[in-house]
Amino acid sequence: MFNDQQQNIAQRMNTRNDVSIEEWKDWKWQIRHQIKDVERVAQLLDITFPPDMLSRLKETTEKFPLSITPYYLSLIDTDEWQNDPVFLQSVPSPSELIIDKWDIEDPLDEDKDQPVSAVTHRYPDRVLLLVSNVCSMYCRHCTRKRKVGDHDYIPDRSTIEEGLDYIRKTPVVRDVLLSGGDPFMLPDDYLDWILTELDAIKHVEVVRIGTRTPVVLPYRITSDLVAMLKKHQPLWINTHFNHPREFTESSCESLRMLADAGFPLGNQTVLLAGVNDCPRIMRTLMHKLVMNRVRPYYLYQCDLSEGLSHFRTPVGKGIEIIESLIGHTSGFCVPTYVIDAPGGGGKIPVMPQYLISWSTNKVILRNYEGLITTYQEPDSYEAIVCDRKCGECALQLKLEGAREDNAVGIHKLLVDFDETIALVPENNERHDRRNT
Ligand SMILES: *Cc1c(COP(=O)(O)O)cnc(C)c1O
C-alpha cells in the first residue's frame, strides 16, 4: 500500500499509466524515474521556489548535479520543506556555489593516494576499491562531490581488473572496502564477479561494502541480492543514515533482510548543520540504528570539500554530541567521532577528555556525570622489555610472519624494539642545519 505522500508523488509523476505499488517498489523503476532537476522537485512536491531562488538552484545543479529517487523524495515533509532533513540532504542549496577560503577540491588527497585509478591505498593493511561512481541519490554533502555525475570517472571493467591486480600483488592488504559511488548500483552479477575475484585472493581476509541504498533506495535490497552476497562471507556492510526520519517501513525491512542474512551492519553518519547537529536528534538516530541491528560506526566531521561550507559545524558540536552519548546511553550506541584529515592523514578520532591527570601510580578520571575519581595502578606489574623474540615469549601467539620492522607512527616511539626517539617533520630547519 502507498502512504499518502508516495501516492501524491506517484500521481504527479504523469506516467502513462497509474503507478502501481509493485512498480514503486521495483528498484529499477525507481532508478528510471530519478528526479534530475529542480522544477521537477517543485512539481512533485507541489511547492513553489521563489523565482530568484529557482534560477540560483539551476545554476547550482549545473555545477553539482541533482538526482533523487522518488522514494527518498517522498520522505520530505512538504509543510516545512525549507528545514526538512531529507530535503536538505537531497535538494541543492545555492550555498553550494560559495567556495570558502579553506575549501579544497580533493581534501582527503584520495586521488594522490591512488596506485591505480580504482584503488586508494592510504592505510597499511586496507584499501578502498572504487567500483562505481553512480549513486541513486546524490547527497548534497558528498565528500566526493567533485566526481558526482562526472562520466570520466565511471570505472569500467578493465579499471576494476587493474584494481584487483593491485590487490592481488599487494599481500599487506587484508581488508578491501568497496566504495564509489554506491556499489549496490551495480548489477548483481557484476558485483558477484568482483566479490568472487576478491574471495580468491588469499590475503584478503574481509570485504566491506559502503552503501546508502537502505536509506535512499531500500528496494535495492532484494532477496536475490542478499542470496548472492551470502556466498561471499565474511562481508561487512556499512550504511549511511543521518536522521531518524530516514527510518521507514521499507528501510527497516531492508536492514532486517541484511541482518537476517548474517552481515554485520554498521553506520556512518555525517554531522550536518541544520540536519542533525543536535544531541537529541543524534541520540534518537543511534537508538533507531541499534533497534535495527546496525552498530553506529563513525560520526564524521563534515569534510572541507568545495560546496559544503553551509553544512559544517564547529568540532565542538561533535564533541558535545559524543559527550551527550557516552555513559548516558548504551556503549554500542556511541560512534567514534572522526575528522578525516585534510591532506590524506586519514581519520583522526576526537573525543571528550576523560583522563584528567595522573601520577606515577594513579590516574585521575572523570565520568559522564562529572564525578572525579581515581584508578590505582598496579604496584606489581613487571614491564617486559619486548625484543620481538615472540618464539620465546610466554604470551601465546607465535611469530608467524610478524615482521620486526613494522611499527609505524607514534606506535614506533612506544615499542622497545625500535630505537627511534623522535618523529621529525619534513623541512624542519633546525634539523636540516644539523645535517649540513
Ligand atoms: C575510511 C577509509 C578506510 C577505512 O578506514 P577504517 O577506519 O578501517 O574504517 C580506508 N581507506 C580510506 C582511504 C578511507 O578513507
Model confidence at 153: pLDDT above 80: no
Looking at the domain assignment, is residue 164 inside a domain? Answer: yes
Parallel, antiparallel or unpaired: strands 372-376 and 362-366: antiparallel
Domain count within the chain = 2
- The confidence score (pLDDT) of residue 151 equals 60
If you measure from the C-alpha of residue 166 to the centroid of ligand 1, how many angstroms do you get, rounded to a whole number?
Answer: 17
Determine the distance from the C-alpha atom of residue 270 to the mean position of all C-alpha atoms in its chain, rounded to a whole number.
8
Q: Is 58 in the pocket of ligand 1 (CB under 6 A)?
A: no
Q: What is the mean pLDDT of residues 176-202?
A: 96
Which is the closest atom of ligand 1 to the Cα of 338? 7
**Is the pLDDT assigned to residue 147 strictly greater than 60?**
yes
Quote the CA–CA distance of 245 and 237 in Å, as a whole number.
Answer: 21
Residue ranges in 25-179 assigned as alpha helix (H): 27-32, 38-45, 51-63, 70-73, 85-90, 157-168
Mean pLDDT along residues 40-54: 94
Ligand 1 site, residue 177, Cβ cutoff 6 A: yes
Average pLDDT over residues 78-88: 96
401-415 pLDDT tens trace:
565 557 888 888 888
Residues 221 and 121 in one domain: yes
C-alpha span between 197 and 168 (Å, rounded): 9
136 occurs within a structural domain: yes
Q: What percent of the chain has pLDDT over 70?
A: 96
149 and 267 assigned to the same domain: yes
The CA 11 to ligand 1 mean position distance, Å, reads: 42
Mean of per-residue pLDDT scores for the chain: 92
| Domain identity same for 237 and 335 | yes
Residue 123, ligand 1, Cβ within 6 A: yes
Host domain of residue 30: 4-88
Task: For residue 251, give the C-alpha cell.
Answer: 528501510
Q: For cell 578520532, what's the residue?
A: 349
Q: Which residue, among 301, 288, 370, 368, has the nearest Cα to 333 in the 3D structure?
A: 288
Q: Are residues 246 and 196 in the same domain?
A: yes
Among 109, 113, 122, which residue has the most ligand 1 atoms within 8 Å of its CB, making it the best to mutate? Answer: 122
- Higher-confidence position of 206 and 101: 206
Q: What is the pLDDT of residue 109?
A: 81
Q: Is residue 329 part of a domain?
A: yes
Q: How confident is the model at residue 70 (pLDDT cuts 50, 70, 90)?
A: very high
Of residues 183, 113, 181, the one with CA closest to residue 143:
181
Report, as an integer, the average pLDDT of 218-229: 98
401's CB contacts (< 8 A; 6+ apart) are none
Ligand 1 neighbourhood includes 126 CB (under 6 angstroms) = yes
261 with 186, same domain? yes
Mean pLDDT of the region 238-258 = 98
For a substitution probing ligand 1, which of 110, 121, 126 has the most ligand atoms within 8 Å of its CB? 126
Q: What is the mean pLDDT of residues 290-317?
A: 96
